[in-house]
Amino acid sequence: MTLVSGPVHLPTPYGVKRVDVTTAAEMLASVEEALKANGADVFIGVAAVADWRIANAVSGKMKKTAAPLSFALKKTPTFSELSGRAAT
């Protein structure tokens, strides 16, 4: 059994492989990898990830400018879409 988890302070159950992630993209990639590697018969998803994410994230501090600040969002893939792909 593989548990893909965001940041928590809970112990990992005995016999469970835990994969720690911090973003929805990391969670989706880890779940896809686990489903492919393990040939899962059952997928239980209980993640509450954001529906949207920043389209062009920056890695450092943005300098102040006189121009107004704006940013674009893009939709985060849903895990129900993933489980449907895994079943085919």
Please report which confidence band the pLDDT of residue 32 belongs to, taking 50, 70 and 90 as the band edges: confident
Q: CB of 43 within 8 A of CB of 86? A: yes
Residue at 42: amino acid letter: V
Q: Which amino acid is at 44?
A: I
Q: Of all residues in the chain, what percent are helix, strand and coil, respectively (each to 5)?
A: 25, 15, 55
Residue 82 has pLDDT above 70, yes or no: no
pLDDT at res. 84: 57
pTM of the predicted model as reported, rounded to 2 decimal places: 0.63
The residue count for the chain: 88
Give the per-residue pLDDT at 85: 55
